[in-house]
Amino acid sequence: MREEYDFSNAKRAKDVPHLSKLQAEAKDKTCVIIMLDNEVLQSYQAKAKEKGLSYQTLINHTLMESMAYRSIDEASPA
């Protein structure tokens, strides 16, 4: 590993097409840390792989669908 790196010619993420697209997609999202049971995570990872999605996207879709069926106030805590 070098002691110093020269970033003087580096491009900003907005100037790199695929990074710019990722930034636009993440505009209305917030990064969070969540603890899930291993069984739940493995299940979502397997289902996501079958569908060609990321498991985070699949979990997000599931939560969005859940919100459409009932309000969060109606949900009883586990």
Mean per-residue pLDDT of the chain: 88
- The Cα 23–Cα 14 span in angstroms is 8
Whether residue 10 lies inside any domain: the answer is no
CA dist., res. 67 & res. 63, Å (int): 6
Residue 74 has pLDDT above 80, yes or no: no
Total domains in the chain come to 1
Range of the domain at 39: 30-78
Residue 57 lies in a domain: yes
What's the pLDDT band for 15 if we cut at 50, 70, 90?
very high
What mean pLDDT do residues 8-13 have? 91
Q: Is residue 59 part of a domain?
A: yes
Cα–Cα distance for residue pair 23/13, rounded to 1 Å: 8
How much is the average pLDDT of 16-31? 85
Residue 72: pLDDT band by 50, 70, 90 thresholds? low
Share of the chain above pLDDT 70, in %: 90
**Residue 70 domain flag:** yes
Is residue 4 situated within a structural domain? no
Q: Is 14 in contact with 20 (CB distance < 8 Å)? A: yes
